[in-house]
Structure formats: structure tokens, C-alpha cells
Amino acid sequence: MKQGKGECCGCGVCALACPHGAVVMTPDSEGFAYARVDRARCTGCGLCQAVCPMGGQPAPGCENRFFAAQAKDDALRFSSSSGGVFPVLAREVLARGGVVFGAAIGPDGAVRHREVQGLEGLAALQKTKYVQSSLDGCVEAAKRYADSGRLVLFTGTPCQCDAVRRYVGGSENLILADLVCYGVPSPMVWEKYIKELEKTYRGRFSGFSFRDKRAKDNGHTVAAYIDGQETAWPMGHDPFCRAFSRSHSLRPSCYECRFCTPDRESDLTMGDFWGIEKVYPEMDDGMGTSLVIIHSGKGAALWEAVQGQLRCAECQREDTLQPRLRTPTLHPGISRAWFWRLCRVLPLRITEKILRK
């Protein structure tokens, strides 16, 4: 089994697949979980390798279709990070008696995947979370529902979705919607930042929005909630978001990501539509537009079913190739080592201020 840090995305599906309990996910000094193998229990069956999303290459030459899309329901769009496509797709799946899986921020601030079977829980799965989520028991649950005949929509990072695909198998009931992903920051850095917010504002963390649209700035405002009270500031002034955008806090495997291509084995891909003002300027109203890439017949069928709820326009492949659909995020070099050295002893705000000089 692969052991290098650049070869493990931390999904944990290898541990689920092992019938002997020989694989355990253990966090390292940066807070990222890695697979550790108990050689005494390992029989060399290879199931852990079979479900690992880090092996192989995405399918070449996929018959992809590219779209710019916005939810017609302005409330859905306003409450989403991009164009509101995810809640439209999720509502369609729920209306068919299906189950939706996605990442949510819990009351303790931890980002975990959860299942939703009704509209009342859907809002928690909306909006971007710039933290690596824990899949908890969601992979097994997704397989159980799909095997029982229920429709399942699973959203997550490309590596998470590919791990689910490998674990569940080729079920026609499973629809995988992955994301255009910059990389995943450390849960440990996020936990540290929450504690710093609580100390600064003298209260208990109760929520966070990484992409707030109040200023019609395409979501370049963040909002923290302490004891239910909201405080907002520009994303560029937020130390956690700065560490993320400068690639200091990312998981090592993100710098070598094999999913930075539009050719994927998920059913569809969602993300921000960069450069919409050049391709379809009439859609550029500051409220967000989604990029959607359809990869499969299952993805196309779901997409066709929700057309009445969307404003969308088909695009050419070359119009939509933002950087993370071409190459992985660049490693920041020595500044990453300095970030980790400093953030262990200094507040995140001061760490990022020092590195900015």
C-alpha cells in the first residue's frame, strides 16, 4: 500500500475496505489523516489498493459537455457559493425519494459529510467549505442506500467522489457530483482558527460562511458567527483564507492532484465559472454563475430533468478551463515550511502577516 504523503488524499476508504481491520487513519503533525497499515493483520489481499482514488488515471477522451448555469430561484442562488446548481440537483434527487450527501459545518466547527433526506437539512450542505471534510459513515451509507435501490447524490472533492465510486461499485443508483478543487486545508489549522475567533470575540463559535454574497461581489466576503452574532470582513483580510489561497495550509497530495482535468469518472463536476464576463457577459451580475461539466449518461439525465429550474448556456471546452482544470496548485516552496513552523506558536493572523512581508 502506498505510504508517501503525496500519495494519500486522506479519504479513509482503504480502512473501510479492509476486512481485517489492518488499516487505520491517523493524523500527522499537520492534522492530515493518513493510512497506517498493521503488518501483523495485513494479508496482502489488495482491497485497500483497489478502492484508492490515487491509483490510475482519469478516463481519457470523455464525452464532456460544458455549461454556464444559474438557478432561476434567486433565493437558492443567493444562499449558494456559485450559481445555485447544487441545491437544484439535490432537490430533484430528494423529490424522487433519494438521499443527498455533502459536507456541513457542525456546531463545534468541524467539517463532516452528512446525509440529508429532506429539504430541511439541505441548506447545511450548500456553500463552499475550505476545509478537508471527514466522510465519517457516509461512504458505507451511500453504498447501503444505492444497493437497496434508492437514488443517491454524493457531492465532494474529486478524490472523495472517486473513492466512493470505487467502494460502491458501478451502481446505476449512485450519482457522483465532484467539485473544481483548489486543494484542502488542514482541519487542525481550521480548529486553531476557530479558537482564535472565540478568543477575539469572547464567545462560542456558532457558524462560518466562507463565501457571503451580501455585497454582490461574487462571494468575496466571509462571515463568522460567535454566540449567534455575525461579524463580516473581506475574504482577502481573513488569515485562514489567506493561508488557503497562498497554498500554505494544503494537504501535500493536493500539489500532485491527478484530478486537475475536465476528464473525470464522476457523473458531473461543479464549480465557479471563471471569466463568465468574457463568455456570456449577460450572466455576469455579481451573484455567481456555476460551471457544470457533464461526464456520463447518469449526469446528463439528471441535468436534463432540472433544465426548467435553471438559466444555462452551453460552452466550449476552451472557454471553461480555469487553472484547476489544467494543473494542480503549485507548491509554495519554503514558505510552506515557515508557515507550519510559525503557526504552531503564533496566531494565524500574525503568521500570515509575517509571511506576507
Residues 104 and 219 in one domain: no
Residues 89 and 176 in one domain: yes
pLDDT tier at 243, thresholds 50, 70, 90: very high
In a domain, 156, yes or no: yes
In a domain, 58, yes or no: no
| Residue 263 and residue 59 in contact, taking contact as beta carbons nearer than 8 Å | yes
125: its cell numbers: 450542505
> What pLDDT does residue 4 have?
80
Which residue would you say has higher pLDDT here, 136 or 26? 26
> What pLDDT does residue 173 have?
98
Residues 73 and 142 in one domain: yes
Q: What is the average per-residue pLDDT within 326-353?
A: 96
| Residue 177 and residue 269 in contact, taking contact as beta carbons nearer than 8 Å | yes
State yes or no: pLDDT of 63 exceeds 90.
no
Residues 98 and 201 in one domain: no
Q: Write out pLDDT tens, residues 15-59.
A: 999 999 999 999 999 999 999 999 999 999 999 999 999 976 655
Q: Write out pLDDT tens, residues 140-166.
A: 999 999 999 999 999 999 999 999 999
Q: Write out pLDDT tens, residues 279-312.
A: 999 999 888 999 999 999 999 999 999 999 999 9
What CATH number is attached to the domain comprising 14? 3.30.70.20
In a domain, 59, yes or no: no
Residues 300 and 339 in one domain: no
Residues 99 and 85 in one domain: yes
Q: How far is residue 84's CA from residue 71's CA, in Å, rounded to a whole number? A: 5
Residues 169 and 258 in one domain: yes
Query: What's this model's pTM, rounded to 2 decimal places?
Result: 0.94
In a domain, 192, yes or no: yes
In a domain, 56, yes or no: no
Q: HEC states along the chain? A: CCCCHHHCCCCCHHHHHCCCCCEEEEECCCCCEEEEECCCCCCCCCHHHHHCCCCCCCCCCCCCEEEEEEECCHHHHHCCCCCCHHHHHHHHHHHCCCEEEEEEECCCCCEEEEEECCHHHHHHHCCCCCCCCECCCHHHHHHHHHHCCCCEEEEECHHHHHHHHHHHCCCCCEEEEEECCCCCECHHHHHHHHHHHHHHHCCCEEEEEEEECCCCCCCCEEEEEECCEEEEEEHHHCHHHHHHHCCCCECHHHHHCCCCCCCCCCCEEEEECCCHHHHCHHHCCCCCCEEEEECCHHHHHHHHHCHHHEEEEEECHHHCCCHHHCCCCCCCCHHHHHHHHHHCCCCHHHHHHHHHC
Residues 241 and 254 in one domain: no
Residues 262 and 155 in one domain: yes
226: its cell numbers: 460567535
Task: Please count the structural domains in the chain.
Answer: 3
> What pLDDT does residue 167 have?
96
In a domain, 60, yes or no: no
Residues 84 and 144 in one domain: yes
| Residue 309 and residue 88 in contact, taking contact as beta carbons nearer than 8 Å | yes
> What pLDDT does residue 320 have?
87
Q: Write out pLDDT tens, residues 175-213.
A: 999 999 999 999 999 999 999 999 999 999 999 999 887
pLDDT tier at 220, thresholds 50, 70, 90: confident
> What pLDDT does residue 215 have?
61
Q: How far is residue 13's CA from residue 21's CA, in Å, rounded to a whole number? A: 12
Q: How far is residue 114's CA from residue 122's CA, in Å, rounded to a whole number? A: 10
State yes or no: pLDDT of 271 exceeds 60.
yes
Q: How far is residue 190's CA from residue 186's CA, in Å, rounded to a whole number? A: 7
List residues bridging with 291 in a β-sheet.
Answer: 68, 271
List residues bridging with 354 in a β-sheet.
Answer: none
Which residue would you say has higher pLDDT here, 216 or 249? 249
142: its cell numbers: 451511500
Residues 280 and 290 in one domain: yes
Residues 160 and 171 in one domain: yes
**Identity (one letter) of the amino acid at 139?**
V
Which residue would you say has higher pLDDT here, 170 or 116? 116
> What pLDDT does residue 276 have?
93
In a domain, 275, yes or no: yes
236: its cell numbers: 482577502
> What pLDDT does residue 170 have?
86
In a domain, 148, yes or no: yes
Average pLDDT for the chain: 93
Q: What range does the domain containing 18 cover? A: 5-51
State yes or no: pLDDT of 221 exceeds 90.
no
